[in-house]
Amino acid sequence: MTRAGFVGLGNIGKPMALQLAKTDGIELWVFDVAPEPVAELESAGAKAAGSVAELAETVDVLSVMVRDDDQVREVLTEALAAAGRRPGENQLTVIVHSTVAPDTPEELAATAEPHGVHVLDAPVSGGPMGAADGTLAILVGGSPEAYAAASSVLAAMGSKVVHAGPVGAGTRFKLARNLLHFASFTAATEAQRLAEAAGLDLVALGEVVRHTDAITGGPGAILYRDSTAPIAPDDFWHGVFGHVVALGEKDLGFAIALADELGVEVPLARLALDRLAPGLGLPKD
């Protein structure tokens, strides 16, 4: 039986904790400053703690899903103050699920080490929907020993758990993933403006994008190559990405021409036309 604790029962934290509450082999303890989600977790079989300190004295693995870096530091400080009162010799492992600044995980781990506490940074991808059905991607940085100690807890909350490397690697993995996410959102708003100026149905455009991305894999479809180095002519990817560039440059050129005709600003499209080929590792004609 693994004793797991969870701090931060918000939009994503609560459904993550609910996954733990229904997992065999895990005894869940929870804490939050809001009483309503704590009561819901108690109804699901979890035990309520009166403080972070109580959790740190009780559990083996403590998940933290709070708002920002400062709140994470506050939780860790309270946990470390109580870590010395733990019975036995089992080390506490703290999993930080909050997305924090790139250097924060190493800072947290250095603070925790003298107290004999392990820290993993393990931000998640998949949103409330993935949290609710246990299909989150969880991106983990930390030592092999800490990862092993937390593995059953992580597996209960996500269907894709990646041990990305040492402390900090999980956060950097998440930031790279979300760069793509939000840059794509910005490109989508550019496409909306173009479609609107052309008199098209924006909802229908969104339905087509979701339909075809489900088939092709969307932007993630190009992320199978293990390097960003220039591609040699005899490399398998040269032909694949050469085809992508040919189609992409043609269609981007047409879209920019339409935008010019309609008076719509499309700076991302112009940047994409300039950078698509070299970004994929091919020379620009």
Tokens representing 236 are 């398998």
Find out whether 48 and 41 touch, Cβ atoms under 8 Å. yes
- Written as one string, the DSSP assignment of 56-101 is HHH-SEEEE--SSHHHHHHHHHHHHHHHTT-SSSPPPEEEE-S---
The Cα–Cα gap between 251 and 268 comes to 14
Given the residues 14, 22, 174, 284, select the one marked as catalytic: 174
Find out whether 154 and 26 touch, Cβ atoms under 8 Å. no
The Cα–Cα gap between 157 and 161 comes to 9
The Cα–Cα gap between 278 and 71 comes to 41
Tokens representing 118 are 């392990």
- Is position 174 annotated as part of the catalytic site? yes
Find out whether 161 and 130 touch, Cβ atoms under 8 Å. no
- Nearest alpha carbon to residue 50 among 78, 73, 70, 83: 78
Question: What are the residue numbers of the active site?
Answer: 174
